[in-house]
Amino acid sequence: MGPVRPQHIATAALFLVGAVTGCSLSGLDTQYGGADASAGDGATAGDAAGKGDAPAAGDVCAPTEDCTNGVDDDCNGLADCADPSCTMAGFACTAAAIPTGWSLVAYSATTRPVCPALYGAEQAIVSDPAGAPDACGCVCSGSSAVCAGTASYSGYPNACATGATSVNLAVNNGACGAVGTTVTAGDYYQLYFASTASAQQGTCSGAGKITSAPAPTFSAGATCAAPAQLGGGCSAGVCAPPTGSVFAACVAHSGNVACPTFGFTQQVLASTGSPGYVDMRACGACPCATSLTCGTVSNVALFDNATCAGGAAYNINTGCQLAGGGAGIGSYEVAYAVSGDATCQPTGSSNPAGSVTLDANVETICCAP
């Protein structure tokens, strides 16, 4: 038999190594990039169940856990919020799953700080608008009341006994009125006993006016948009990035809607508009009227000119009076009892009405109790 060649020895040795049951080829894995499939290396099926997907055989484990992808990146059998490294970094499971139509937001009720890391753009919001009632006064307008009616006197050819001839004159609010009549010499005259003046009101209306309006108050807060990606590892809800001490992890929905029945149950209505509220405060109706009272006619002054100038030629009152010499009469004035105010004045107060409310840009924010 001839000498054994070296290449034959190497081939035989390699065949023996490959034939040994249970032996690892890990030394060759490094050189050739093959997978080490020996028992005990990598996570078992039981390790990965319910704890995120472990990297596939041959994948390189990450040195740290990515808390937003639902994967067990560091190969410890725990994904995202189930991994202590995520919770120590501030990641936390939300109070419940995010319902369809809702968005996760970081919510601050009364401040507008910089949004937490990993959250999106900030949206200024206004909530809880309020305003003390306006102080109200009254404004009245319209024409004044006047004394109107008819003043009558009678002329007699005797001492006010029989054969009376009556003359009717408009009360005319006591102003000078034109008349064309004659007082007959030797006749007697007296006022008709039922002559009265009555108050007649023109237009009179009122409206409330604001005498002072307290400034509206509101809470100026903010929301920050949902992160681009949310993790897993939660029995309920999703793994959300830390919100810090000022913000809270809540859900938001456009419009005024009911909160979810589980997890996110505390409702806040807010506006994304500017200024975010509508001031509907006002003053109510204002009652107004005149208080003029006109009484019984006491005298009719007759003038022998057309302008009530100078002294009256005759003053006819309730007593029976002899006219004396006759005269032509061109104007008159009626005197009567009067009291009250003829101008349009408040008769009550104007009550405040309305309130400060959110404008139409309403959204609903629901947080955990």
- The mean pLDDT value for 339-346 works out to 94
Q: Give the pLDDT score at 81.
A: 97
Picking from 76, 75, 323, 299, the residue whose alpha carbon sits closest to that of residue 169 is 299
Least confident among 36-45, 92-101, 223-232: 36-45
pLDDT tens digits, 188-204: 999 987 788 999 988 89
Backbone phi, psi, residue 346, to 5°: -65, 140
Indicate whether 25 pLDDT > 50: no
**Residue type at 134 in one-letter notation:** D
Exposure on the CB side of residue 340, measured as CA atoms within 13 A? 22
Picking from 183, 215, 138, the residue whose alpha carbon sits closest to that of residue 315 is 183
* Angstrom distance (rounded) from CA 40 to CA 62: 19
Indicate whether 11 pLDDT > 50: no
Q: Give the pLDDT score at 187.
A: 95
* Angstrom distance (rounded) from CA 337 to CA 299: 10
pLDDT tens digits, 104-116: 999 999 999 999 9
Q: Give the pLDDT score at 55.
A: 54
pLDDT tens digits, 70-106: 999 999 999 999 999 999 999 999 999 999 999 999 9
* Angstrom distance (rounded) from CA 21 to CA 367: 60
**Residue type at 47 in one-letter notation:** D
Least confident among 36-40, 77-81, 265-269, 338-342: 36-40
**Which residues fall within 8 angstroms of residue 77, CB to CB, at 6 or more apart?**
43, 47, 48, 51, 52, 54
Q: Give the pLDDT score at 53.
A: 53
Indicate whether 268 pLDDT > 70: yes
Q: Give the pLDDT score at 201.
A: 83
Exposure on the CB side of residue 49, measured as CA atoms within 13 A? 3
Q: Give the pLDDT score at 5.
A: 38
Q: Give the pLDDT score at 59.
A: 66
Q: Which residues pair with 165 in a beta bridge?
A: 155
Q: 248 falls in which pLDDT band (50, 70, 90)?
A: very high
Indicate whether 142 pLDDT > 70: yes
With b meaning 16 or more CB within 10 Å and e meaning fewer, what string describes 308-337? beeebbbebbeeebebeeebebbbbbbbbe
With b meaning 16 or more CB within 10 Å and e meaning fewer, what string describes 224-254? bbbbeebbbbbeebbbbbbbbebbbbbbbbe
**Which residues fall within 8 angstroms of residue 216, CB to CB, at 6 or more apart?**
129, 130, 131, 277, 279, 356
Q: What predicted TM-score, i.e. pTM, was given to this entire model? A: 0.62
Indicate whether 279 pLDDT > 70: yes
Q: 154 falls in which pLDDT band (50, 70, 90)?
A: very high
Average pLDDT, the chain: 86
Indicate whether 182 pLDDT > 60: yes
Q: Which residues pair with 329 in a beta bridge?
A: 181
